[in-house]
Every structure is written in structure tokens, then in C-alpha cells.
Amino acid sequence: MAEQSESAPGAQRFIPPEADTLDALRAAASGCQGCELYRDASQTVFGRGDESARVVFVGEQPGDMEDQKGLPFVGPAGRLLRKAVDDSGLDPGHIYLTNAVKHFRFELRGKRRIHQTPDRVHITACRPWLVAEFARLHPEIVVVLGATAAKALLGPAFRVTRQRGELLPWPASAQHPEDFRQVPVDSAGKRADTPPAQLLATIHPSAVLRADDQDKAYEGLVADLTVAARALAG
């Protein structure tokens, strides 16, 4: 069982400067010990999807099934998200899926592993991976799924419930926009300004699964994603 900790060394020192592709980052992340979550989880679950994705989704952390398979969004919440992507009109072939925290945090109850929300220390420790992923992606829309991802990208003051479904400027709305302002343009290390994009926050698909009125919660998720789909179509 993962213990609480007040501080963690962070992921930065596990990111090799020469890792200039998502595959290289993924390989490096498999050895990350930037916080204590690596100890009890099965493996690092790095982002997956289209490297030239128009839409990048950022969730909270891998769940039990993701931890076993090593792939993000393959459990019940992931299936629901894929259905919502289809129903909103977004192209499922052009998305990239990742999480703010890349190891499964859980509590053992008997033989069951019960999800535990990551603490701020885990979000902060893992943020360098998210920044490194964004440095290699060029999304037109970033979709933030739930409060943990919102904290990681937008800071603790952001309230998903208040600003969900609203298009915001990216990276200008990030907590530290400078982290996301430049992207490499070639293998020689040339960098350029990140093309302006938009960000949209919505609820995490697992919140739909936990809702008393799942149909209504699902409709809300699809309505938010439809805002993104329309923005891309426009």
C-alpha cells in the first residue's frame, strides 16, 4: 500500500535530455522513481495515441486495469470515454490519451485494490512527464478530465464544475504557461513557439460511472466534448 509522503524527488531527473520522441520518453518513464507510487504499482502507464493528435486528453491516473495492462484508459472509465468521444463527433483516430500521474495509487482492502486520489505531492512529482509529453505533441485542443488533471495543468484554483465546457486559451491558461510555450521543431534542438490552441475542462469519465444519474452525467460529458468537436470543425 502506498504511504503518504510530504515530498518526493520528482520525475525530472529520470527524463533523459536526448529523449526526443514519445517512445523514448515512454521507455524512460518505465524506470521512474520520482515518487513512492512506483513501489506498489505494477508498472508506469505512459500516454498513448496519435503523436499528431488534434486532441490530447489528460486524466487523473491509471486505474486497476490500466496498471495491469500498462495502457491508459482501457478500463471501464476508458471505455465510457471512447463512447463519449464517438458520440460527440470527435475523431477517435486522432486523439492522444495520458494521465497527470503515471502510476496507480491505491489502498489494499483485503485482496482488492481501491483507487486513491493522488495527492499534490504526486501531481507535482509527475508533472515533468506531462510537460515533456506536451513538448512533443501539437494539439489543437487539450481536454482536461476532472479535478486532478486540472490541478496538474491549471493550478489549484481552477474549478472544473465552474468552467467545464468552456474553451480557454492554451497554453496561456496553464498554471506555468512557460512550461508549455515552446516545442522542438527538429532533431537538432531547434525550438519554436507552441502553436496557439485551446483547452477545455470536463468531468472525468469515472465520475459519470459514480454519478447517481449516470445518463445525465454522461450527457454532460458528451455536451462538453461536443464543444471541442465543433471548435475543431469550425
Residues that bind ligand SF4 (CB under 6 A): 11, 29, 32-35, 37-38, 44, 101-103, 122, 125-126, 129
Q: Residue 55 CB, nearest distance to ligand SF4 (Å)?
A: 23
Q: Residue 86 CB, nearest distance to ligand SF4 (Å)?
A: 30
Q: Residue 191 CB, nearest distance to ligand SF4 (Å)?
A: 25
Cis, bond preceding 9 (omega within 30 deg of 0):
no
Q: Residue 216 CB, nearest distance to ligand SF4 (Å)?
A: 33
Residues 3-18 as b or e (16 or more Cβ within 10 Å = b): eeeeebebbeebbeee
Nearer to ligand SF4, 49 or 220 (CB): 49
Nearer to ligand SF4, 12 or 214 (CB): 12
Helices (H), 135-213: 146-154, 160-163, 205-210
Residues in the chain: 234
Helices (H), the chain: 22-29, 37-40, 64-69, 76-88, 120-134, 146-154, 160-163, 205-210, 214-233
Nearer to ligand SF4, 121 or 168 (CB): 121
Nearer to ligand SF4, 70 or 165 (CB): 70
Question: Distance between CA 23 and CA 77 in Å, rounded?
Answer: 25
- Sequence-distant (≥ 6) Cβ neighbours of residue 141 within 8 angstroms: 54, 55, 56, 167, 170, 197, 198, 199, 200, 228, 231, 232
Beta-bridge partner residues of 107? 114
Q: Residue 104 CB, nearest distance to ligand SF4 (Å)?
A: 9
Tell which residue, 45, 32, 228, has the closest CA to residue 128.
32
Nearer to ligand SF4, 26 or 164 (CB): 26
Nearer to ligand SF4, 28 or 228 (CB): 28
Q: Residue 185 CB, nearest distance to ligand SF4 (Å)?
A: 27
| φ, ψ of residue 184 in degrees (nearest 5) | -70, 145
Nearer to ligand SF4, 73 or 129 (CB): 129
Question: Distance between CA 48 and CA 20 in Å, rounded?
Answer: 16
Residue nearest to ligand SF4 (CB): 34
